[in-house]
């Protein structure tokens, strides 16, 4: 079983975190075997929002749902399921997850991940998740890459663990991650440029002009296509991430989901000293209105996120 310092985790959440760790260790073994474990990236259907589901998306969802039974999770919400599932009528918590984030990268051996967010359970399933993002009591991600990493927060800093595959344990490597205040890198899917709003275009052009423009320094561009990988890079060495609203049909609120992508990442980033907004307003001040709703998402180094808000006027 994973060895995580009990002093860093609220006791009541310990069974949930243990189940998440044990499941992610199993999942990391499947991911590491890639094609030897089957056709993990094969399309098997569509999720509630019309995104294609891959075999590994569904497998990960089934594994986490099964593992979380009996851990204190009353309500389980997943990107892969339309409705909230009641796991345990006596549980005190509600857990939302993107069980396998970045699934377009499954077949190309690029980092993918799991994202989770925990609230106290409310009177019914949906109501437990449709609340102010600052009501989260825990959030985290597991990144399946060259290393399997776990970053999580309980509202007192962002902790980072690395899986030691020989001991089969997550080992604490940083009790408080610090996201650098200034950035040298920015991330946005540049193929959508013609659809962006003027403030987003202005920010990207500022980055591109580098030391010849208002920034006075050169900026590097990165886009992995896995939110978990991008978040981990930015938490580690700073930078900005943007998935804004754009003019494509169905992208009026961007692409990323508030409850199990944007909210938890915002909590982790802010707990590491970074900022997370929808372009203007802090994500943690916003309330989800639907389980699978999307939100424009901007996060990273404080100076840059503030600059983007200023460009929005
Ligand atoms: O929802 C998921 C996701 O795959 C994120 O992990 C990633 O940041 C984004 O979508 C990639 O979007 P695009 O396909 O526009 O590059």
Per-residue model confidence as pLDDT tens digits over 77-98: 999 999 999 999 999 999 999 9
- Which residue puts its alpha carbon closest to atom 1 of ligand 1? 256
Q: How far is the CA of 288 from the centre of ligand 1 (A)?
A: 20
Q: Tell me, what's the pLDDT at 1?
A: 43
- State yes or no: pLDDT of 160 exceeds 80: yes
Write out pLDDT tens, residues 249-304: 999 999 999 999 999 999 999 999 999 999 999 999 999 999 999 999 999 999 99
- Which residue puts its alpha carbon closest to atom 13 of ligand 1? 225
Q: How far is the CA of 227 from the centre of ligand 1 (A)?
A: 6
Q: How far is the CA of 236 from the centre of ligand 1 (A)?
A: 20
Q: Tell me, what's the pLDDT at 6?
A: 66
Neighbours of 132 (CB within 10 A): 13
- Which residue puts its alpha carbon closest to atom 11 of ligand 1? 225
Task: From the CA of 101, give the closest atom in ligand 1.
Answer: 6
Pocket of ligand 1 (CB under 6 A): 101-102, 104, 189, 225-227, 255-256
* Domains of the chain (ranges, CATH numbers): 6-174 (3.30.540.10), 185-311 (3.40.190.80)
pLDDT-wise least confident of 1-5, 67-71, 189-193: 1-5
pLDDT band at residue 8 under the 50/70/90 scheme: confident
Q: What is the pTM of this model?
A: 0.96
pLDDT band at residue 4 under the 50/70/90 scheme: low
- State yes or no: pLDDT of 2 exceeds 50: no
Q: How far is the CA of 93 from the centre of ligand 1 (A)?
A: 28
pLDDT band at residue 46 under the 50/70/90 scheme: confident
- State yes or no: pLDDT of 3 exceeds 70: no
Site to substitute for ligand 1 among 192, 226, 298, most atoms within 8 A of C-beta: 226
Average pLDDT over residues 99-120: 96
Task: From the CA of 79, give the closest atom in ligand 1.
Answer: 1
- Which residue puts its alpha carbon closest to atom 12 of ligand 1? 225
């Amino acid at each position: 079983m994973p060895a995580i310092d009990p002093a860093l985790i609220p006791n009541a959440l310990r069974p949930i975190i243990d189940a998440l760790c044990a499941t992610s260790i199993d999942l990391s073994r499947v991911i590491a075997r890639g094609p030897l474990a089957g056709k993990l990236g094969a399309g098997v259907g569509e999720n509630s929002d019309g995104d294609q589901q891959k075999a590994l998306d569904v497998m990960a969802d089934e594994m986490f749902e099964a593992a979380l039974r009996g851990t204190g999770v009353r309500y389980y919400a997943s990107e892969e399921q339309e409705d909230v599932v009641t796991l345990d009528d006596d549980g005190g918590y509600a857990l939302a997850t993107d069980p396998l984030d970045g699934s377009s990268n499954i077949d190309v051996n690029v980092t993918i991940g799991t994202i989770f967010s925990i609230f106290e359970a409310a009177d019914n399933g949906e109501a437990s998740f449709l609340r102010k993002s600052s009501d989260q009591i825990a959030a985290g991600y597991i990144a399946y890459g060259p290393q399997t990493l776990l970053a999580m927060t309980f509202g007192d800093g962002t902790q980072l663990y690395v899986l030691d595959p020989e001991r089969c344990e997550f080992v604490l490597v940083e009790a408080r991650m610090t996201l650098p205040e200034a950035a040298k890198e920015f991330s946005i899917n540049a193929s959508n440029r013609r659809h962006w709003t003027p403030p987003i275009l202005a920010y990207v052009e500022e980055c591109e002009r580098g030391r010849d423009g208002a920034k006075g320094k050169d900026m590097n561009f990165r886009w992995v296509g896995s939110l978990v990988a991008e978040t981990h890079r930015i938490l580690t060495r700073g930078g900005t991430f943007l998935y804004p609203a754009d003019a494509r049909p169905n992208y009026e609120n961007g692409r990323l989901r508030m409850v199990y992508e944007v909210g938890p990442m915002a909590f982790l980033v802010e707990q590491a000293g970074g900022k997370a907004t929808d372009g203007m307003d802090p994500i943690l001040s916003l309330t989800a209105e639907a389980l699978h709703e999307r939100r424009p998402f901007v996060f990273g180094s404080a100076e840059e996120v503030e600059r983007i808000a200023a460009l929005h006027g």
